[in-house]
Amino acid sequence: MDNKDKIVQFLQRQLSEEEQVQFLDWVYSNAENKKEYFQQKDIWDSYKMHSEKGNINLKKEWKVLSNRINLIKIPKTFTLKRNFTLWMRIAAIIIVVFGLGWGSNMILDSFNVPKQLVHKLEVPKGQRSKLALADGTEVWLNSDSKLDFSFDDDKKQRVVTLSGEAFFNVSRDEEKPFIVNVKGQSLKVLGTVFNVRSYENEENVYTTLEEGSVEVKAAGRTVVIEPNQQLIYSRISNRLSLKKVETSYYTVWRDGRYIFDNEDFETLMAMVERWYDVEFIYPKKFFQNIHYSGVIKRTKPVDHVLKLINHTTPISYQIDGDKIIIKPL
């Protein structure tokens, strides 16, 4: 049985639980297997949508199209079903969801989850995700972000660990505060709407509050943030700063836009790399004192971003697969 047949059987739910475990082990054993699976699943999901409307014969047309297409970049969806007999046997659950648009929501439910089980959600570069936790909390994850969580009924807190960027709409529970741990900082809320940006390769952690209140512990201090405020924690200097902001600037990424104001070139390029899953090569010393302001729409191709930069700083660029070489003129 070739790989394509395995994928078809998995998508059609024709595999036993043991075979599903083996199949998922194969998918995540290397990057090529994962890429092949999601290419085929993209096609399947697209055709399934039309099939449900009675427009096509799903199985027949899917086989025809999947034989013709090598790569399609359309929304990716990997959904946890409520068969937790299977999922509890997998130590780390990696859920890759959505491409350029959200496509759909995903609900993760705990049911009778073992006490020590930790769910691991990872959103790769070039993707975004939206999910609902068992307590009703909604979470949007930006590109290149990871979220770990484990909710137990006998615990007094709801705890998640974030690396990357996420927008939280926390379901209120007076008896169980919601804790978000990031590197060097911990946030405590009850029922709140806020955004946290904490990428490993960035110096600062940004916490932006839209509604409610957030108690932040960092740098040996405890700070309470109010709506329309942003707390910036420097992991290098171990200092905190609080300022008033227009919160939509920092949360509009959920709608596929990135607003930047006086952004340094390195930070801007890091964001574009995450959004488009590319790598920029450029002389950092030349760009280190140049800042940019503007809006980038995710629906635009990456060369559109380069053209915007060229309006301010004359550059030439060469695109070689997922590598982009930028040279100042």
What class does CATH assign to 256-328? alpha beta
Domain ranges for the chain, please list them: 1-74, 76-255, 256-328
Q: pLDDT value at position 109?
A: 39
Distances (CA, A) of 273 to 71, 176, 222: 20, 37, 34
Contacts of residue 43, Cβ cutoff 8 Å, sequence gap at least 6: 62, 65, 66, 69, 72
Q: pLDDT value at position 60?
A: 53
Residue count of the chain, please give it.
329
Alpha helices of 129-244 — where are they, by DSSP H? Answer: none
Q: pLDDT value at position 197?
A: 97
Q: pLDDT value at position 195?
A: 98
Q: pLDDT value at position 48?
A: 53
Average pLDDT per block of 10 residues along the chain, 329 residues long: 76 76 77 74 56 49 46 34 37 34 38 56 88 88 90 77 96 91 92 94 94 93 95 94 94 91 91 93 93 88 89 91 93
- Out of 3.30.365.10, 1.10.1660.10, 3.90.1150.10, 2.60.120.1440, the CATH code matching 76-255 is 2.60.120.1440
Q: pLDDT value at position 70?
A: 36
Angle between helices 302-312 and 265-276 (to 10 degrees): 170
Same fold for the domain at 76-255 and the one at 256-328?
A: no
Amino acid letter for position 64:
V
